[in-house]
Chain A
């Protein structure tokens, strides 16, 4: 079995009152190429900076080779970082930049010469020793930054979105070279990116993060084919994410039809999220195979395949990718193979909000005061309010709501949008709506009095 080189145990971190990382547990094997993947603000860079030693966890520990790194300064850690904007020293030339770490370690001059030349060859920058770093292009600076890190032969190389500043073509080339370098060097790579394609291309293991938590850890194929929740499904590649019901083992209902599937153990008549990748919906002329019909709404050529949006006979919008185009407005017969249907447990079926009764008919939730029936409760009682996703009203005019929030994440579910709203105090509210909002929109939140159901806390 592979040796664990880094272990992260119960690590949490907050900046001010914002929780950036919540109870992270993760281990990294010797020689692995592991990617921390997530949207900006998910905590991936914070985690990397903690491993490098620039930030300290509030709680939990980070172990290197089984030894706790707490109290070990960055300069004492046998790790090296490739920074997002390279951070090459402008007062030193290429050679002195690369030799910087070796000179500090008092490596003999001949040895430094030899190693600098070797890494320059490795990053294909052999004749650049005497060049001023500011005269180099972005891609060349990137190579020097990588050379400066690996020349120290670190146990682990940390890469913080190293290709983000490069153009597409250069990025593709560098991906291949990085992968090649990883193979040659045998060093463990921890790579941070928000680019899902880059993560799938490069990694042995992908760690998908969101809102300070690890969503899923797995190989690129696992992550793509078996996403554990709707966030991962939406973030990695294109997907149709739909509300469904698990009727019984191996039988699931969604978009108004029943399908065979391969998932078991959810129970009977349980609400679930269903993911079907657009390339897994097939066209057929065989009536026996047809599971449902749909009308083609649009068809766009995407280079290798055509991307089509169809309205199913039950009014759900689906995205389909196929090598053959079908004309707009034609009625098509479709089917899905059982093992291409990914069924996921719903993370939640309604908003569950902790609050406090502030008076007769009044309850405080997320710092705002809502009206609702408080029969059987006293002022000051701690309560839990349950609000269905589709019972939360979102309004344009910020003065019209009890609370204000920001649209944080949008998921299209075929016939409605599932929104994550970040309210004033940093907590999240989940809303089903047919209205179109954009990420980052400021909204006012209202909930009708009879849609708030209270129960006693800890009941």
Chain B
């Protein structure tokens, strides 16, 4: 073993302690009954627990809605930020990124207070607002990044070949910015599936998301069922991320 490879040992220990070990524990707990014997009952309980399933469906729905809203709001914002004619100052970019400097929990608490003061009823609307507010910068930034680096001559070449400004966008700019959209989706969709704090504060626990149920189970010492739910969520997120990386490869490879 060379000396240089010794440098990786601290990272290796860190990974084992904080990533691998917790994952193993989640898996072990998920397949254990109260006496510590092997069982599939925890997993089975989820599929017969209609509450859990509908919460899970709702979580996915909210995550998808949040992601879509973030794309619809974030793409034009990124486009304007990246266009030197429309945005001449770096300050605007910082303003868009600025909320990321403040802890998400604090912003969420502040938002919920604001809704209270304004007299809004907390519900799905306020939940989505909070999520979009929290995650929008994560959508804008990767799209902005890719648009800003994009060679202007692609758009010029398309226009030169007869594309109207709209066609330039749909046939060249949008497909070429797909990798940016995909990493934005990854950064917005995956954390929203498992979020629970935003739901707690912005709906007063009226709406429960999947993360909330896991938290509740763990809190009430139902570690085995909670672990099983966490494992199911991990698998689902894992599948979507596989789907995502295939998509972005395709975008680069030219199938769109």
Whether both chains belong to one complex is answered with: yes
Is B10 close to A, CB under 8 A? Answer: no
What 0/1 pattern do residues 89 to 125 of A give for CB contact below 8 A with B? 1111100100011001100000000000000000000
Residues of A within 8 A of B (CB): 52, 54, 73-75, 79-81, 83, 85, 87-93, 96, 100-101, 104-105, 132, 148-149, 152
What 0/1 pattern do residues 221 to 256 of B give for CB contact below 8 A with A? 000000000000000000000000000000111101
Residues of B within 8 A of A (CB): 151, 153-154, 156-164, 167, 171-172, 175-176, 178, 251-254, 256
The 11 sampled A-B contact pairs (Cβ below 8 Å) are A52-B160, A81-B156, A81-B157, A83-B153, A83-B157, A85-B151, A87-B154, A96-B254, A100-B163, A104-B161, A104-B167
- Report which residue of A75, A81, A148 has the largest number of chain B beta carbons within 10 angstroms of its beta carbon: A75
Given A100-B161, A104-B163, A91 and B153 touching (CB < 8 A)? no
Tell whether, in the assembled complex, residue B162 and residue A75 are in contact, meaning their CB atoms are under 8 Å apart.
yes
Give min CB distance, B143 to chain A, whole Å: 16
Tell whether, in the assembled complex, residue B162 and residue A90 are in contact, meaning their CB atoms are under 8 Å apart.
no
Give min CB distance, B256 to chain A, whole Å: 6
Tell whether, in the assembled complex, residue B159 and residue A73 are in contact, meaning their CB atoms are under 8 Å apart.
yes
Given A132-B253, A132-B254, A89 and B154 touching (CB < 8 A)? yes
Which residues of the other chain, B, contact A148 by a CB distance below 8 angstroms? 157, 161
Given A91-B252, A91-B254, A100 and B158 touching (CB < 8 A)? yes
Tell whether, in the assembled complex, residue B156 and residue A83 are in contact, meaning their CB atoms are under 8 Å apart.
yes
Give min CB distance, A157 to chain B, whole Å: 11
Which residues of the other chain, B, contact A92 by a CB distance below 8 angstroms? 254
Give min CB distance, A153 to chain B, whole Å: 12
Which residues of the other chain, B, contact A79 by a CB distance below 8 angstroms? 160
Tell whether, in the assembled complex, residue B153 and residue A152 are in contact, meaning their CB atoms are under 8 Å apart.
no
CA distance A81 to B162 in the complex (A): 11
Which residues of the other chain, B, contact A104 by a CB distance below 8 angstroms? 161-163, 167, 171
Which residues of the other chain, A, contact B163 by a CB distance below 8 angstroms? 75, 100, 104
Q: Which of B160, B175, B251, B256 contacts A80 (CB 8 A)?
A: B160
Q: Nearest CB to that of A74 among chain B residues?
A: B159
Beyond A81-B160, A100-B171, A105-B162, list 4 extra A-B contacts (CB 8 Å): A54-B156, A83-B156, A89-B176, A152-B162
The binding surface of chain B is classed by DSSP as helix
CA distance A91 to B164 in the complex (A): 19
Tell whether, in the assembled complex, residue A91 and residue B162 are in contact, meaning their CB atoms are under 8 Å apart.
no
CA distance A83 to B252 in the complex (A): 22
Give min CB distance, A156 to chain B, whole Å: 12
Give min CB distance, A154 to chain B, whole Å: 9
Give min CB distance, A459 to chain B, whole Å: 46
Which residues of the other chain, A, contact B154 by a CB distance below 8 angstroms? 87, 89
CA distance A74 to B176 in the complex (A): 21
Q: Which of B156, B157, B167, B256 contacts A91 (CB 8 A)?
A: B256
Q: Which of B157, B167, B175, B251 contacts A87 (CB 8 A)?
A: B157
Which residues of the other chain, A, contact B159 by a CB distance below 8 angstroms? 54, 73-75
Give min CB distance, A191 to chain B, whole Å: 16
Give min CB distance, B235 to chain A, whole Å: 32
Give min CB distance, B166 to chain A, whole Å: 10
Given A74-B156, A87-B157, A93 and B254 touching (CB < 8 A)? yes
Which residues of the other chain, A, contact B171 by a CB distance below 8 angstroms? 100, 104
Q: Which of A80, A87, A100, A149 contacts B153 (CB 8 A)?
A: A87
Q: Nearest CB to that of B178 among chain A residues?
A: A91
Which residues of the other chain, A, contact B151 by a CB distance below 8 angstroms? 85, 87
Which residues of the other chain, B, contact A89 by a CB distance below 8 angstroms? 154, 157-158, 172, 176
CA distance A83 to B163 in the complex (A): 16
CA distance A54 to B151 in the complex (A): 15
Tell whether, in the assembled complex, residue B156 and residue A87 are in contact, meaning their CB atoms are under 8 Å apart.
yes
CA distance A83 to B157 in the complex (A): 8
Tell whether, in the assembled complex, residue A91 and residue B160 are in contact, meaning their CB atoms are under 8 Å apart.
no
Give min CB distance, B184 to chain A, whole Å: 18
Q: Which of A54, A91, A149 contacts B251 (CB 8 A)?
A: A91
CA distance A148 to B163 in the complex (A): 14
CA distance A92 to B176 in the complex (A): 10
Give min CB distance, A374 to chain B, whole Å: 45
Given A90-B254, A91-B252, A85 and B153 touching (CB < 8 A)? yes
Give min CB distance, B49 to chain A, whole Å: 45
Q: Nearest CB to that of B155 among chain A residues?
A: A87
- Report which residue of B156, B157, B167, B256 has the largest number of chain A beta carbons within 10 angstroms of its beta carbon: B157
Q: Which of B160, B175, B176, B254 contacts A75 (CB 8 A)?
A: B160
Q: Nearest CB to that of B176 among chain A residues?
A: A91
Tell whether, in the assembled complex, residue B254 and residue A152 are in contact, meaning their CB atoms are under 8 Å apart.
no
CA distance A149 to B160 in the complex (A): 9
Q: Nearest CB to that of A83 among chain B residues?
A: B153
Q: Which of A80, A90, A91, A132 contacts B161 (CB 8 A)?
A: A80
Which residues of the other chain, A, contact B164 by a CB distance below 8 angstroms? 75
Which residues of the other chain, A, contact B167 by a CB distance below 8 angstroms? 104
CA distance A90 to B177 in the complex (A): 11
Which residues of the other chain, A, contact B161 by a CB distance below 8 angstroms? 75, 80, 100-101, 104, 148-149, 152
Q: Nearest CB to that of B175 among chain A residues?
A: A91
CA distance A100 to B167 in the complex (A): 11
CA distance A74 to B158 in the complex (A): 10
Which residues of the other chain, A, contact B176 by a CB distance below 8 angstroms? 89-91
Give min CB distance, A201 to chain B, whole Å: 26
CA distance A74 to B164 in the complex (A): 9
Tell whether, in the assembled complex, residue A74 and residue B252 are in contact, meaning their CB atoms are under 8 Å apart.
no
Q: Which of A85, A87, A93, A101 contacts B162 (CB 8 A)?
A: A101
- Report which residue of A74, A80, A81 has the largest number of chain B beta carbons within 10 angstroms of its beta carbon: A74
CA distance A430 to B162 in the complex (A): 47
CA distance A88 to B256 in the complex (A): 16
Which residues of the other chain, B, contact A93 by a CB distance below 8 angstroms? 254
